[in-house]
Chains A and B, each alone.
Chain A
């Protein structure tokens, strides 16, 4: 039971995903289709973000004592390698940052960062889709797909 309930975030994701997908498939109204598409995309954002969250973890901000110094001094590959390693460790959920053995648990920032990009993509898609719908309405005078197809068939 706990296994099923403990994964509640996935249940939510799946529920949203299917809701969105259903709307995309079933709705004739173009705007509603786009809304469905948005819900569908959002569910994926949630999937990523919940995946990155580590229980009791905080935001992954490096303390000045650690991050601040290292940034100014190290360069290039060394720097990158260390940085990458941290991120990588964070990805696995248990993080041991800093030599002074301060055990702090961070959430994995990468999924959130990825989603930032995906959100941008989503916005662009939605904007473009809406723009297309506006043009369609100007041309056909309706945004009901079945009516549009009917008009196309007749013309």
Chain B
């Protein structure tokens, strides 16, 4: 599809917004609808779109298959590691309340001058932090897996029968 300028330009325009939307969904996960899985799929969609339009070599440069393979594992480790951290802190597996850290949870007085409603939390803790980390892990893994599936199929040689 290299030869269709309109598609190329539109794709270039679209991809940043897709990524941005992915980030939004990702980081909104512990407050409202959204989360790692959806975000991961959106992220991967951006990569796959890029690959479809610009070809496999191009997207391999952006996201090398080796890295993607490792990311699959890394995301899962972030997830399980969060659970393990809770355990090491003395709770049960995935007991996020163990992640309370009491560090900068309230808005510092120095920032009082900011306009508008003050947010509840400054740095998330406990349940929020736990869910955030888990969602992050899920997001990474899903992005990587989706991309990897794409690579796996797109990278196959054509079979002649």
Q: Which residues of A contact B (CB under 8 A)?
A: 59, 61, 64, 68, 71-72, 75-76, 79, 116, 120, 127, 130-131, 134, 137-138, 141-142
Contacts and interface: CB of A to CB of B under 8 A. Distances in A.
B97 A141 contact: no
B37 A116 contact: yes
A120 B153 CA distance: 19
B37 A141 contact: no
Size band of the interface chain B makes with A? 10 to 19
Contacts of A138: 156, 159
A134 B127 contact: no
Contact of A131 (B33, B128, B152, B161): B152
B126 interface: yes
Contact of B120 (A68, A120, A131, A142): A68
B149 interface: yes
B157 to A, nearest CB: 8
Chief secondary structure at chain B's binding surface: loop
A127 B149 contact: yes
A63 B97 CA distance: 21
A71 B37 CA distance: 23
A62 to B, nearest CB: 10
B32 A61 contact: yes
B16 to A, nearest CB: 26
A116 B100 CA distance: 28
B153 A71 contact: no
Contacts of B97: 75-76, 79
Given A64-B120, A71-B127, A72-B121, 10 more contacts: A61-B33, A71-B126, A72-B120, A75-B97, A75-B100, A79-B97, A131-B152, A137-B159, A138-B159, A141-B159
A120 B33 contact: no
A127 B33 CA distance: 26
B161 A141 contact: yes
A72 B126 contact: yes
Contacts of B159: 137-138, 141
Contacts of B32: 61
B123 to A, nearest CB: 12
A120 B79 CA distance: 16
Contact of B153 (A61, A64, A79, A134): A134
A120 B37 contact: yes
A75 B126 CA distance: 9
Contacts of B149: 127
